[in-house]
């Protein structure tokens, strides 16, 4: 993982070497400064969420690179290190990660979940999946269909219709950025988000992704939302006794806890705690 961490460090230098506190507080990375610092130290592989927030604020927001291309590039690097570590118990020799463009890009990106091995058949499936990632191969199982004439020797076109999951931030309903709130008090923050995709949002929530003196639940349920509808999401907040700044980030997640919309900025609360 040393080479992967070194790539993160070099990206930080290229972006002007901001401090980790600046990346977390001022540049808007939805990760704590300690998590960002650990990612570049190379002792362990950071989570994809931490990696992406590290890369996003530097490569996309500060350097102006294309977010889709950057996400593909870094997810490929992160995935290769993770797969090799899972198969061998450690990172590959010298964390050998080929330069971008030396390996075919799969169409789209996927989230890796946790795989528990129970028997050899599961191990075969994991190894096959790992080989697909390492070689850039992607296998789609779409079933079989014959032509109208029944001629199996003529390739038949297969049309695949996939649902599109998307969201759009509509605005702050209460406590806009910079609002002054008293110490040791409670209030309710409300955001409005629109379902701009084609799937119903069900059993989803906003997951808090950083530490902050203000107290909130770690997860905030999202009411069921059909395509085209807007939903107001409320979270109860308790301020600390001391004055300061409260800036808390949330990302949408499904019922398995998987982060959704990794390319989108998190919704956040940003208030000043103090006396008027």
pLDDT given at position 43: 79
Task: Note the pLDDT of residue 234.
Answer: 94
183 and 122 together in one domain: no
Do 90 and 193 share a structural domain?
no
What pLDDT sits at residue 147? 39
Q: Are 210 and 245 in contact (CB under 8 A)?
A: no
CATH of residue 228's domain is 2.60.40.10
Q: In the prediction, which pLDDT does 157 show?
A: 45
pLDDT of residue 89: 58
**Do the beta carbons of residue 185 and residue 154 sit within 8 Å?**
no
Give the pLDDT of residue 129.
45
Residues 176 and 103 occupy one common structural domain: no
- Could you tell me if 118 and 16 lie in one domain? yes
Per-block mean pLDDT, blocks of 10 residues, the chain (276 long): 80 87 80 84 85 89 86 88 71 38 35 35 41 39 40 44 85 94 95 94 91 90 94 95 91 87 85 89
Q: How many CB atoms lie within 10 A of CB 5?
A: 20
Domain range spanning residue 211?
167-273
Dihedral angle sign, alpha carbons of residues 50, 51, 55, 58: positive
**Last residue of a domain, which of 116, 135, 154?**
135
Give the separation between CA 66 and CA 190, rounded to whole angstroms.
Answer: 31
Q: Judge contact between 199 and 227, C-beta under 8 A.
A: yes
Whether residue 31 is found in the same domain as residue 111: yes
Residue among 245, 251, 238 nearest 209 (CA): 251
User: CA separation (Å) from 48 to 39, 52, 175?
Assistant: 10, 6, 31
What pLDDT is attached to residue 149?
41
**Domain assignment of residue 237, yes or no:** yes
pLDDT for 161 equals: 53
């Amino acid at each position: 993982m040393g080479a992967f961490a070194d790539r993160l460090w070099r990206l930080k230098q290229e972006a002007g070497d901001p401090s980790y506190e600046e990346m977390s507080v001022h540049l808007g990375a939805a990760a704590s400064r300690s998590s960002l610092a650990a990612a570049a130290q190379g002792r362990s592989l950071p989570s994809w969420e931490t990696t992406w927030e590290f890369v996003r604020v530097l490569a996309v927001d500060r350097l102006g690179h294309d977010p889709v291309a950057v996400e593909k590039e870094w997810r490929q690097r992160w995935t290769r290190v993770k797969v090799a570590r899972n198969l061998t118990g450690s990172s590959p020799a010298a964390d050998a990660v080929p330069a971008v463009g030396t390996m075919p890009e799969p169409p789209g990106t996927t989230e890796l979940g946790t795989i528990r091995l129970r028997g050899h058949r599961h191990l075969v499936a994991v190894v096959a999946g790992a080989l697909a990632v390492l070689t850039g191969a992607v296998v789609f199982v779409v079933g079989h269909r014959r032509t109208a004439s029944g001629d199996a020797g003529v390739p038949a076109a297969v049309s695949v219709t996939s649902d599109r999951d998307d969201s759009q931030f509509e605005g702050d309903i209460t406590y806009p950025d910079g609002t002054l709130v008293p110490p040791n008090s409670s209030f309710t923050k409300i955001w409005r988000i629109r379902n701009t995709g084609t799937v119903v949002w069900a059993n989803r929530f906003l997951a808090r992704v950083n530490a902050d003196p203000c107290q909130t639940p770690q997860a905030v349920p999202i009411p069921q939302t059909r395509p085209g509808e807007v939903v107001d999401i409320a979270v109860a907040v308790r301020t600390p006794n001391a004055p300061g700044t409260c800036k808390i980030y949330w990302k949408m997640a499904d019922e398995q806890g998987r982060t959704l919309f990794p390319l989108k900025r998190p919704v956040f609360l940003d208030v000043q705690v103090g006396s008027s």
